A = this chain, B = another copy of it.
Amino acid sequence: MLKLYHHPMSAASRYVRLLTGEYGEKPELVEERTWERRREFLAMNPAATLPVLIEDDGAPIVGGIVAGEYLDETRGVFSRDKRLMPEKPVERAEVRRLTEWFMEKFDAEVTRYLVRERVFKLEMPKSEGGGSPDASAIRAARTNSKHHLRYIGWLAESRNWLAGPRLTQADLAAAAALSVLDYLGEIPWESEPAAKEWYSRIKSRPSFRPLLSERVRGVPAVQHYADLDF
């Protein structure tokens, strides 16, 4: 049995939910508000980041990328053509480069600012940094976001899926990050038709459904968020 400490607005948490969904599993979800720095949570992950995955009360598996490797090693390798990693090491390196890009670089330049300013600050007490959003942080993140969307568009135009001919972990990592921003209405889809076509393909997968039906208290989703034809 899998248990996932997550937050609906954490891209790395969504990534792990998509992976488990693709492998036909449904982890028990525990919502964690990391800014509360709960003692039991810090004991599992002193970096206080999400997600943390636990299998059968075993040792914590910390972080989206690390959980992705774990799920590949314990599920992917037994899944034949449903495996979300290619066979050749050098092709795996390309999947990992892009997974890291969307989980780390995109997060550091875009997602974490938009989510912090537009969602978490509403929930956090003033003493933890809550309060009104910082307009300049939002502006900077939106500018960075355009470059990333263009890069996805370029990848989607040059390849069938982002890392090559088949669906891989890299597509789920990118889609997880974009889905958080899309919820907030932060993706100008019309400017990147190839990115939009790729996202609509991935959005219609059954693994995506639980994310599309979820709502965050106090933060309405943009109107087209759950539409498969957006």
Contacts of A58 in B (CB 8 A): 90
Residue from B62, B94, B108 in contact with A97 in the complex, judged by beta carbons closer than 8 Å: B62
Q: Is A55 in contact with chain B by the CB < 8 A criterion?
A: yes
Please judge, given known A-B contacts A66-B100, A100-B66, whether A93 and B47 are in contact too, CB under 8 Å: no
B151 and A65 form a contact (CB under 8 A): no
Chain B residues whose C-beta falls within 8 Å of the C-beta of A101 in the assembled complex: 47
- Kindly state the separation between the CA atoms of A50 and B74 in the bound complex, as whole angstroms: 30
Q: How many copies of this chain sit in the oligomeric assembly?
A: 2
Q: Is A8 an interface residue (CB 8 A)?
A: no
- Is A43 an interface position by the 8 A CB rule? no
Asked if A70 lies at the interface with its beta carbon under 8 angstroms from chain B, I say: yes
Q: Which of B59, B93, B105 contacts A70 (CB 8 A)?
A: B93
Give me 13 other A-B pairs in contact (C-beta within 8 A), A55-B90, A70-B93, A108-B108 excluded.
A46-B151, A47-B101, A59-B90, A61-B93, A61-B97, A63-B100, A66-B96, A66-B97, A66-B100, A69-B93, A70-B89, A70-B90, A70-B92
